[in-house]
Structure 1
Amino acid sequence: MGLSIGIDVGGTKIAAGVVDDEGAIIARAHRDTPADSVDATAAAICAAAAELIGEHEIEAVGIGAAGFVSSDRSTVLFAPNLAWRDEPLGARVAAELKIPVVVENDANAAAWGEFAYGAAKHVEHMVCVTVGTGIGGGVVSESRLLRGAHGVAAELGHMRVVPGGHRCGCGARGCWEQYASGRALVREGRAQAESGSPAAAQLLSVCGITDPADLTGPMITAAATNGDPLAVELLEDLGRWLGEGLASIATLWDPSVVVIGGGVSAAEDLILTSAQIAFEKNLPARSNRPHPTFGIALLGNDAGLIGAADLARIK
């Protein structure tokens, strides 16, 4: 196989890269994302790709976009952070670049990257959960990416775990990402910090701040890795919610590997240990079924780019 381009379209930045058939990125290009303009965003994507096409012989382009992508891998049906509504992005970019283009949900692309070249490259069945501001994810079964009838399967973060719970950005209440994400970590951290307890005061001091409103997820994660008791408790609680949700997911897809990625995964053992304990406790018929192994994603922020590039090669 030849070279392909993967493009990860974020709310503020478009990252593009030339990827070879071993998953290595051999060249990069970047553009800002004009998120409020459909035309300007498409133009920026084309400009980043054209820069790379001018220097390399490219056979296809894969675009990873946050949102619902049609089953034909061409139209962005809805994007929460960009101005795409039923946008024929694939056809539009292909017409400009004169090269085959496929569009994929960004979490699906990241999951495929970890499946093809990362933490799950040795298996045929895997689930990847990216724990960032929200929860994204993807499922690979029998070495095929699960897309569903309409292309919008595996929206893992919006599995309901607490009926009537916290309101989610999707409009529902009690979604998993309201309890096991960076947003949830910050919400709980700030609530604890506002209590005025000695443990809360210590956490704020360790983070170098005095106002609980200034507390961020990376601050809590850094404090936890340095042993702050309250920060450790907060990360372990997030891990518990993560493990409980993964137990439900395992009953649906029976993966051999569960890969955890995203910014919160930087805490590694603090997250993994509590997630695995909660998973084992909540897995139905746990003594009579094989259990998946857990691992941390290996490709970092490049997973979506690499996965999109590889998916562009698959007809």
Structure 2
Amino acid sequence: MTLAIGVDIGGTKIAAGLVSEAGDILDSVAEPTPADATKIPAVVADLVERLTGDEKASGIGIGAAGFVGEDRSTVRFAPNIDWREEPLGEHVAALVDLPVVVENDANAAAWGEFRFGAGEDTDDLLLITVGTGIGGGIVHRGQLFRGGFGVAAEIGHMRIVPDGILCGCGQRGCYEQYGSGSALVRDARERVTNGDPGSEAIAALGGGDLSRITGPAVTKLAQEGDPMAVDLLADLGRWIGEGAAVLATILDPSVIAIGGGVGAAGDLLMTHLVEAFETHLPARAHRPQAALRLAALGNEAGIIGAADLARTEPATSTPTTATRGA
């Protein structure tokens, strides 16, 4: 059995797992992400050492939020970590005696879902990851699609509302300003601030402190039947579904998987997402329609996908084609 290490570097936590060829995480460890970004390679190396022990791994795959260059090693830009043209793969490889592949975190998650999760029965998958923002990953005809410069599938910054809400990227009306966990929280807090009728239960979440109103708390309220929380999740689902219809028009995937923390909402989200998708998909009656599914691997998708990429392709721009049942 060929083992590989998958690493998911987030703004607050670095998680790593020892992953089998079947996509099973055999062991996992995690550490807080250091404030000093120059210390991240040493943390990754320490996690790898703790995971391997007497085991032998074939390589390390690292998923990182940001633009990853064609060399599969350099993080050109990261929104939540102070990386600009950072040779992350080179720095980690200098500390461990294993080959290292760096990939965008959403791409790694998409690859994990394609190989072992919601996309196991297709060769064309679009993963929409909904968290603080929106990320995406595309697998086309069994290959991870990275684009001409390695930075494809930044779908959260697709503009869906002209002159809409200002986004952190500098543009207005981006998808993630309407269909993300941050959008859900913003809308919930606005309703409380405005004193909207029926907002009492959401207001109680904060106890006078708006910062305590979170996405998971609103989702829990919705699951308990609070009408306004249910309405907020319905709005979120509609926005995600509208954006998914635009993406389906361009990419024509056979499966669209929805990942990220919003998956906990289940049908409270997906019912409205599917309805909006079907309403806004052009010429729907005359085309095959993508299957919309919740992602299957949860927060482990990035670790599993990164490990599999380390096992199946070198740190180059050559695309990967994989067969099932590895």
1:103 corresponds to 2:106: no
Worse overlay, 55-64 or 196-205: 196-205
Q: How large is the RMSD of aligned CA atoms in angstroms?
A: 1.3
Name the CA distance, whole Å, in 2 between partners of 1:236 and 1:55.
50
Gaps of 5+ in 1: none
* Alpha-carbon distance, 1:197 to partner: 3.4
1:159 maps to 158
Counterparts in 2 of 1:202 and 1:7: CA distance versus 1, 3 Å: closer
Which amino acid in structure 2 is aligned with residue 163 of structure 1?
P
1:82-97 equivalences in 2 (<5 Å): 82-97=81-96
1:294 maps to 292
Q: Deviations along 1:97-149, whole A, 9 cap, x unmatched?
A: 12111000001111111111111111100111111111111011101111001
Report if the CA contact (8 A) 1:180-1:241 is conserved.
yes
Name the CA distance, whole Å, in 1 between partners of 2:288 and 2:26.
39
Report if the CA contact (8 A) 1:194-1:200 is conserved.
no
Which amino acid in structure 2 is aligned with residue 7 of structure 1?
V
2:5 maps to 5
1:147 maps to 146
Report if the CA contact (8 A) 1:177-1:184 is conserved.
yes
1:280 maps to 278
Name the CA distance, whole Å, in 2 between partners of 1:251 and 1:308.
28
Name the CA distance, whole Å, in 2 between partners of 1:49 and 1:90.
14
* Alpha-carbon distance, 1:214 to partner: 2.9
Name the CA distance, whole Å, in 1 between partners of 2:60 and 2:169.
30
Name the CA distance, whole Å, in 1 between partners of 2:298 and 2:246.
25
2:261 maps to 263
1:195-234 equivalences in 2 (<5 Å): 195-205=194-204, 207=205, 209-234=207-232
1:188 maps to 187
Name the CA distance, whole Å, in 1 between partners of 2:249 and 2:185.
29
2:57 maps to 58
Partner SS, residue 26 of structure 1: strand
Identity, in percent, stands at 55
TM-score by length of 2: 0.93
Name the CA distance, whole Å, in 1 between partners of 2:132 and 2:191.
19
* Alpha-carbon distance, 1:66 to partner: 0.5
Name the CA distance, whole Å, in 2 between partners of 1:121 and 1:194.
45
Gaps of 5+ in 2: 314-326
Name the CA distance, whole Å, in 1 between partners of 2:116 and 2:153.
20
Report if the CA contact (8 A) 2:125-2:140 is conserved.
yes
Partner SS, residue 199 of structure 1: coil
Name the CA distance, whole Å, in 1 between partners of 2:54 and 2:134.
36
Partner SS, residue 231 of structure 1: helix
Which amino acid in structure 1 is aligned with residue 127 of structure 2?
C
Name the CA distance, whole Å, in 1 between partners of 2:137 and 2:229.
29
* Alpha-carbon distance, 1:31 to partner: 2.1
Partner SS, residue 223 of structure 1: helix
Report if the CA contact (8 A) 1:127-1:139 is conserved.
yes
1:20 maps to 20
1:46 maps to 45
Name the CA distance, whole Å, in 2 between partners of 1:115 and 1:35.
33
Counterparts in 2 of 1:58 and 1:202: CA distance versus 1, 3 Å: closer
2:322 maps to none
Report if the CA contact (8 A) 2:124-2:142 is conserved.
yes
Report if the CA contact (8 A) 2:206-2:212 is conserved.
no
* Alpha-carbon distance, 1:311 to partner: 0.6
Corresponding residue pairs, total: 313
Which amino acid in structure 2 is aligned with residue 158 of structure 1?
H
1:29-44 equivalences in 2 (<5 Å): 29-38=29-38, 40-44=39-43
Report if the CA contact (8 A) 2:202-2:213 is conserved.
no
Name the CA distance, whole Å, in 2 between partners of 1:92 and 1:202.
49
2:319 maps to none
